[in-house]
């Protein structure tokens, strides 16, 4: 193939170059215009979206959890407050090897299995840039040791917070309950806005009941952060609204006196102001230290509480179930009068044993041989079983159940505390529904002395007593007295407890029953005689001794010592004072008391003495327990 020899032609080269250069420039300008179009797309068309994303980058919302409301007794004695504490927090995203880090950290600050379990639970729920609490309530020693080693633990920080504290310890555990770490099921139920930044929630008692008031509303800070999430400045701050302070109707001194009077023996005491249902004391012995639960209780501590045979975690006042025994007699007596089945003068002959027609099984009196002919007042004074066997039979179980339910037996009293037990008020309908069995007449007889299926909680009995004391007006028991939006703010009284109108119409009927109850304390043969000695007001009371085991009529227990009796008895005592114008009603249940009068009544008297002393009344303490 032949080539035409190529020759250099400078002029044509120059012309060609000029054409190429300007063509190239046109292409370059076109490309730059395309680049500018891209800028227009980003900076004009999508501008708003990128502004949002730039802000999302740099602005962090930091929630400020509200300080929890404080709790006081009626006189302003502090029952629950918040104290500064320090906790360890971990930002998972910033920890390269989490397991290895935890391993090393546990050599600096002890971490329990429980801490680690909770931490991993929360880790699973949170996003990696969110801080997760690892250990609460660091000691000063631990803080110091961590501070020295902090450089070894990027992403781990000591964070100050407010920790719930119960300065009165175990004294109010069964009233206040406690707060604890929010668990997974609660987390799912809670409003995430309201609980943002909050670690703890009321788990039981007042803390749980009034969680809505105590918690408050979180505030927040908009913080500008850099790429390392280091906060640089606060752009906006909305302070949290603290939870409301609560004043309880409880009187710390009554509570203290009642608790002390038990001397560690298991039981419960409830004091109520019958005029309005305000609960003045709510004691359950033994108790526990609620502070243990605040930062997560250790396994060992929890096991010890669970394994304690005296069951310190059981709120006996609210959930302890006891046969009411003879304490139901005043209510039954009032029913007899109100329903026209008895007059105050009607008498019954007590022979020591009572038989249903055509039956061999006998129902006995407490006194061998009986006490002879008694009218209503004596029947209450001496707690004569035969009188009430007959009254129960005459009334019939249906009318009796209906009447008793008006005092609140068989259902929760409606106190402002969670998890109250209902107790059992037996009736044929209840028995059919529960056991699919018919009702027997004998069961009506023993129901007349508060035995059989009948069980009550101490609170329920106190509620019934307060209802009786306020002339058959039932006020639901109330613990919340007032609330307050901050220290120094005015106390706003809580709305009064709902009350039903009086269901007993006759004042003389009421007087008869109360006369019998006064005789229990002041009569020569009263089962709690001598209890009123040295007390400024007349006391109206009624003892009750319920048996923990059933027994036959043939055996009397007179040969047994009180200690042996205590093993099988529960001692109950109910009383109010002043008898003619009741201002305080007290119920005491002692689980291992021999007799109501001798074992339970002195505890009630101690509470009454404290109550009277607070009102400046002269009191001479009881020197000798009632005999019965």
Partner 1 sequence: MNTALARLRHALLRQIVRPRLDLPLALALLLLAAVGLLTLTSAADLEVHVIVAQATRFMLGALLLLAVSRVPPVRLRSLTPWLYVISTLLLLVVAALGEGRGAHRWLNLGVLRFQPSELLKLTMPMMVAWYLAQRPLPPRWRDLAVVGLLIAAPAALIAMQPDLGTALLVAAAGVFALFLSGLAWWRIGMLLGALAGALPLAWPYMHQFQRERVLTFLHPESDPLGTGWHIIQSEIAVGSGGWFGKGWHQGTQSRLEFLPEHTTDFIFAVFAEEFGLIGVILLVALYAFIIGRCLWIAVNARDTYSRLLGGALAMSFFVYVMVNGGMITGILPVVGVPLPLVSYGGTSAVSLLTGFGVLMSIHAHRKLVDSRA
Minimum CB separation from partner 1 for residue 10, in Å? 7
Distance CA 273, CA 271 (A): 7
Distance CA 371, CA 377 (A): 13
CB 399, CB 299: distance < 8 Å: no
Q: Is 46 in the site for partner 1 (CB under 8 A)?
A: yes
- Considering 204, 295, 326, 383, which one is annotated as catalytic? 326
Q: Which residues sit opposite 302 in a β-bridge?
A: none
* Site for partner 1, residues 357 to 376, rule: CB under 8 A: none
Applying CB under 8 A, the site for partner 1 has a residue count of 43
Q: Is 49 in the site for partner 1 (CB under 8 A)?
A: yes
Interacting span for partner 1 (CB under 8 A) from 19-27, 104-112, 258-266, 322-330: 19-27
Query: In the complex with partner 1, which residue's Cβ is closer, 227 or 300?
Result: 227
Q: Is 17 in the site for partner 1 (CB under 8 A)?
A: yes
Distance CA 328, CA 383 (A): 10
CB 527, CB 378: distance < 8 Å: no
Work out whether the CA dihedral 449, 453, 459, 460 comes out positive or negative: negative
Q: Is 36 in the site for partner 1 (CB under 8 A)?
A: yes
Minimum CB separation from partner 1 for residue 128, in Å? 10
Residue that has been written with the tokens 């250990």 in this structure: 135
Interacting span for partner 1 (CB under 8 A) from 44-52, 300-308, 532-540, 592-600: 44-52
Query: In the complex with partner 1, which residue's Cβ is closer, 34 or 84?
Result: 34
CB 462, CB 456: distance < 8 Å: no
Interacting span for partner 1 (CB under 8 A) from 45-53, 77-85, 566-574, 608-616: 45-53
E strands present in 447-606: 474-475, 480-484, 492-493, 499-500, 540-547, 569-577, 584-590
The CA-based angle 298-303-306, given to 5 degrees, is 130
Distance CA 163, CA 133 (A): 13
Structure tokens at 320: 């302890």
Query: In the complex with partner 1, which residue's Cβ is closer, 58 or 361?
Result: 58
Long-range Cβ pairs for the range 495-502 (8 Å, 24+): 496/276, 497/276, 497/277, 497/278, 497/414, 498/414, 499/277, 499/473, 499/474, 499/475, 500/473, 500/474, 501/473, 502/471, 502/472, 502/473
CB 584, CB 273: distance < 8 Å: yes
Interacting span for partner 1 (CB under 8 A) from 49-57, 76-84, 311-319, 467-475: 49-57
Minimum CB separation from partner 1 for residue 26, in Å? 10
Q: Is 58 in the site for partner 1 (CB under 8 A)?
A: yes
- To the query of whether residue 326 is one of the catalytic residues in this protein, the response is yes
Q: Is 8 in the site for partner 1 (CB under 8 A)?
A: yes
Q: Is 21 in the site for partner 1 (CB under 8 A)?
A: yes
Minimum CB separation from partner 1 for residue 100, in Å? 22
Binding to partner 1 by CB under 8 A, coded x per residue (else -) over 227-246, reads xx---x--------------
Q: Is 435 in the site for partner 1 (CB under 8 A)?
A: no
Active site residues: 326
Binding site for partner 1 (CB under 8 A): 6-10, 13-14, 16-18, 20-22, 24-25, 28-29, 31-32, 35-36, 38-40, 42-44, 46-47, 49-51, 53-55, 57-58, 224-228, 232
């Amino acid at each position: 193939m032949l080539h035409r020899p190529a020759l250099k032609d400078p002029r044509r080269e120059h012309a060609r170059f000029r054409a190429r250069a300007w063509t190239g420039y046109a292409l370059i300008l076109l490309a730059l215009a395309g680049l500018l179009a891209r800028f227009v797309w980003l900076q004009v068309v999508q501008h708003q979206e990128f502004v949002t994303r730039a802000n999302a980058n740099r602005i962090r919302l930091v929630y400020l959890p509200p300080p929890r409301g404080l709790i006081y007794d009626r006189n302003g004695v502090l029952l629950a407050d918040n104290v500064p504490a320090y906790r360890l927090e971990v930002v998972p995203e910033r920890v390269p090897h989490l397991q290895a880090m935890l391993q090393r950290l546990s050599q600096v600050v002890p971490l329990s299995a429980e801490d680690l379990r909770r931490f991993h639970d929360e880790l699973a729920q949170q996003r990696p840039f969110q801080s997760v609490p690892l250990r609460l309530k660091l000691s000063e020693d631990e803080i110091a040791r961590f501070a020295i080693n902090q450089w070894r633990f990027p992403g781990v920080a000591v964070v100050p917070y407010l920790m719930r504290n119960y300065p009165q310890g175990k004294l109010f555990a069964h009233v206040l309950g406690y707060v604890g770490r929010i668990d997974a099921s609660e987390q799912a139920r809670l409003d995430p806005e309201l609980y943002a930044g909050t670690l703890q929630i009321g788990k039981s008692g007042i803390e749980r009941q009034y969680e809505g008031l105590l918690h408050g509303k979180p505030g927040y800070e908009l913080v500008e952060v850099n790429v390392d999430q280091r906060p640089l400045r606060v752009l906006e701050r909305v302070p949290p609204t603290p939870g409301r302070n609560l004043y309880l109707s409880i009187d710390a001194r009554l509570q203290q006196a009642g608790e002390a009077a038990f001397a560690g023996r298991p039981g419960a005491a409830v004091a109520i102001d019958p005029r309005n249902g305000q609960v003045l004391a709510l004691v359950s012995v033994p108790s526990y230290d609620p502070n243990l639960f605040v930062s997560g209780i250790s396994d060992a501590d929890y096991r010890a509480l669970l394994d304690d045979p005296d069951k310190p975690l059981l709120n006996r006042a609210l959930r302890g179930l006891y046969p009411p025994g003879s304490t139901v007699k005043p209510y039954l007596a009032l029913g007899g009068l109100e329903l026209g089945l008895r007059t105050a003068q009607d008498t019954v002959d007590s022979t020591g044993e009572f038989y249903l027609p055509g039956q061999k099984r006998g129902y006995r009196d407490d006194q061998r041989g009986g006490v002879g002919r008694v009218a209503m007042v004596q029947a209450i004074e001496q707690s004569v079983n035969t009188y009430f066997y007959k009254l129960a039979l005459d009334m019939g179980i249906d009318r009796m159940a209906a009447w008793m339910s008006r005092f609140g037996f068989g259902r929760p009293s409606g106190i402002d505390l969670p998890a109250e037990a209902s107790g059992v008020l037996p009736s044929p309908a209840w028995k059919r529904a529960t056991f699919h069995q018919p009702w027997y007449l004998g069961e009506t007889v023993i129901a007349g002395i508060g035995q059989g299926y009948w069980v009550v909680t101490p609170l329920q009995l106190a509620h019934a007593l307060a209802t009786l004391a306020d002339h058959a007006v039932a006020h639901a028991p109330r613990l919340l007295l007032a609330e307050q939006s901050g220290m120094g703010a005015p106390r706003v009284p809580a709305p009064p407890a709902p009350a039903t109108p009086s269901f007993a119409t006759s004042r003389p009927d009421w007087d008869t029953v109360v006369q019998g109850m006064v005789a229990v304390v002041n009569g020569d043969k009263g089962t709690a005689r001598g209890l009123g000695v040295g007390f400024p007001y007349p006391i109206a009371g009624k003892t009750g001794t319920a048996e923990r085991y059933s027994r036959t009529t043939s055996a009397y227990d007179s040969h047994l010592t009180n200690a042996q009796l205590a093993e099988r008895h529960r001692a109950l005592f109910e009383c109010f004072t002043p008898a003619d114008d009741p201002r305080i009603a007290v119920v005491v249940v002692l689980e291992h008391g021999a007799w109501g009068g001798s074992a339970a009544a002195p505890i009630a008297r101690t509470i009454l003495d404290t109550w009277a002393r607070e009102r400046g009344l002269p009191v001479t303490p009881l020197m000798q327990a009632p005999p019965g």
